[in-house]
C-alpha cells in the first residue's frame, strides 16, 4: 500500500516536500489557503485542495483524521501554524512534522506536542557548515 501524507502550506519548503514525496511514490494531499498555490500543485499532488487549516470543520471535512502523517509547512504566519498544529493534535493525527520560524515558535510547537520540528534554513546552514568543514562538498 502507498504511504499517505498531507502537506499544509505550499511555499518553497512545503512545495518541495510535495514534489519529492510524489517522486518517491507516496500519495500526497496538498493544502493551501491561496488558490494560485494550489493550482501550481494540481497536476503534481495526488489531491490539491484550497482550505484554511485554522478552520477545524474544514480539516474534518477533508478526512484529515485518516492520514498517518501531516506536515505543516506554514512559516511566516505563526498564528496560523500554531492553530493548525493545535487542531491537528486535537483531531488525533498520529504524526505531525511542523516548520518553525524561530526558537519561540519551536518551543510552542514542542508544548503542543508536534513530533518533529524543522527549521529549514537553520538546519541546512548547520549541515552545509559541517560538510564544508569535512570537505564533503558533494553531499549537501
**Quick one: 22 or 78, whose CB is closer to ligand ATP?**
78
By the 10 Å C-beta count (0-12 exposed, 13-18 middle, 19+ buried), 114 is classed as buried
Run of H or E residues at 64: none
The phi, psi pair for 50, rounded to 5°, reads -85, 120
Residue nearest to ligand ATP (CB): 11
Distance CA 82, CA 96 (A): 12
Q: Which is nearer to ligand ATP, 124 or 136 (CB)?
A: 124
Could you tell me the smallest distance in angstroms from the CB atom of residue 84 to ligand ATP?
6
User: Of the two residues 6 and 74, which places its CB atom closer to ligand ATP in the complex?
Assistant: 74
Task: State the nearest-atom distance from the C-beta of 108 to ligand ATP, in Å.
Answer: 16
Q: Residue written as cell 564544508?
A: 132
The contact set with ligand ATP (CB under 6 A) reads: 8-14, 31-34, 37, 52-54, 73-77, 80
Minimum CB separation of residue 10 from ligand ATP in Å reads: 5
For residues 5 and 78, give the distance between their C-alpha atoms in angstroms, rounded to a whole number: 22
Specify the residue, 39 or 52, whose C-beta has the smaller distance to ligand ATP: 52
CA distance 60 to 125: 37
Q: How far is the CB of 51 from ligand ATP (least distance, A)?
A: 6
Amino acid at each position: 500500500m502507498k504511504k499517505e501524507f498531507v502537506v499544509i502550506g505550499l511555499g518553497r519548503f512545503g512545495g518541495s516536500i510535495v514534489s519529492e514525496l510524489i517522486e518517491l511514490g507516496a500519495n500526497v494531499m496538498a493544502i493551501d489557503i491561496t488558490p494560485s498555490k494550489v493550482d501550481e500543485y494540481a497536476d503534481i499532488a495526488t489531491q490539491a485542495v484550497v482550505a484554511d487549516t485554522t478552520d477545524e470543520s474544514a480539516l474534518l471535512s477533508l478526512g484529515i483524521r485518516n492520514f498517518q502523517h501531516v506536515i505543516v509547512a506554514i512559516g511566516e504566519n505563526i498564528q496560523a501554524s500554531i492553530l493548525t498544529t493545535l487542531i491537528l493534535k486535537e483531531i488525533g493525527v498520529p504524526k505531525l512534522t511542523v516548520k518553525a520560524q524561530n526558537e519561540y515558535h519551536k518551543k510552542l510547537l514542542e508544548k503542543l506536542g508536534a513530533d518533529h520540528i524543522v527549521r529549514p534554513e537553520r538546519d541546512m546552514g548547520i549541515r552545509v557548515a559541517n560538510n564544508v568543514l569535512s570537505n564533503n562538498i558533494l553531499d549537501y
